[in-house]
Amino acid sequence: MNQAYLLLDGALIDNLPNRLFELGCGTAFQLLYQQTAYSSLVEVSPVLVPVFPNSPLAHTFTREWSATAGIWLESEADEASVLQHLRSLIHARVEGEVMVFFRYYDPRITGLWLTNLEPQTRNRMMGPIRRILLPESVHPFSALYQENPEQPTAQYADKPWLFLTSDQLDHLSEAKRQRLAWQLIEYCQHHFPQRLQGLDGAGQQQWAASCQRSADRHGYSAVDEVMRWVNLYAVLGDDFPDAPDQASYRQLLGEKGVLPEQRLNNLSAELQRHQLAQKELFA
């Protein structure tokens, strides 16, 4: 009989243990970072917890977490085997024998990672997992299936068994762009709701992607940098900083010998100066 589990991102869900308690989770949850080289990071560890359909936990997952902060999975294996396999995937090797954390429990990464693998390889990656459910927003078929359930359970080791090629990393980086797009949309909905007014979901995604491209063209690609750039982009429009009346911003962007962070500070100060001037003009 299949047992359903949630694999939740402890780094994205605030006070996750307390939330599980409030939702009436009567079974113990498992921290994937326990008994690994990353045990000191258990406060942000991925969490494995059994779930039952139509429970408060299931409804909360669907409503709040399924698009960005966890995956629903099912298995006929015992919980210890499921935990063991999932724990083995928390890190991976990349070219140059570098080790990296692998956030495969982000549903956007799950779909990108597993969908394009050969069936035999995907079976090995899924191990004892029979089915993974994903929202339609990140995977058109809503589910990934284990085609050969007679798979060995992988074992965690301090040296990862999983290897990701450079092509796979490039492909998975799309998930990072999608995640940042959601952050930009949520930020704009809160601070600049009029900017997204009239745009459907696809239109909002296109706007967020345009904002990222605008920031990247001017040397800003880190999350914190793009989150500062969106303040300028939302207020000054899609043509920022190329509109005819934005010469002062272009001058600031072109200054030599100015650190990127200071340049953002200067741009923000110019925006504030401009807004104050506008208020005085219409006072």
- pTM, full prediction: 0.68
Bridge partners, 92 (sequence order): 100
What pLDDT was estimated at residue 282? 58
Predicted confidence (pLDDT) per residue in 84-107, tens digit:
999 999 999 998 878 999 999 988
Q: Cα(84)–Cα(141) distance, rounded to whole angstroms?
A: 27
Which H, E and C letters describe the chain, residue by residue?
A: CCEEEEEECCCCCCCHHHHHHHCCCCCCCEECCCCCCCHHHHHHCCEEEECCCCCHHHHHHHHHHCCCCEEEEEECCCHHHHHHHHHHCCEEEECCCEEEECCCCCHHHHHHHHHCCCHHHHHHHHCCEEEEECCCCCCCCCEEECCCCCCCCCCCCCCCCCECCHHHHHHHHHHHHHHHHHHHHHHHHHHCHHHHCCCCHHHHHHHHHHHHHHHHHCCCCCHHHHHHHHHHHHHHCCCCCCCCCCHHHHHHHCCCCCCHHHHHHHHHHHHHHHHHHHHHHHC
Residue 262 to residues 12, 225, 258, Cα–Cα distance (Å): 29, 11, 6
- Domain ranges, ordered by start, for the chain: 3-164, 171-282
Predicted confidence (pLDDT) per residue in 145-180, tens digit:
988 878 889 999 999 999 998 888 888 877 778 778
What pLDDT was estimated at residue 15? 87
Instruction: At 13, list the tokens.
Output: 């869900």
pLDDT under 70 in the chain at which residues?
1, 26-27, 137-141, 279-283
- State the maximum Cα–Cα separation within the chain, in Å, rounded to a whole number: 74
What pLDDT was estimated at residue 170? 81
Q: Cα(74)–Cα(143) distance, rounded to whole angstroms?
A: 11
Q: Which residues contact 45 (CB under 8 A, 6 or more apart)?
A: 10, 31, 32, 33, 34, 38
Peptide bond into 241 cis (omega under 30): yes
Cβ(73)–Cβ(47) under 8 Å?
Answer: no
What pLDDT was estimated at residue 137? 67
Residue 29 to residues 47, 84, 168, 212, 214, Cα–Cα distance (Å): 7, 14, 31, 37, 43
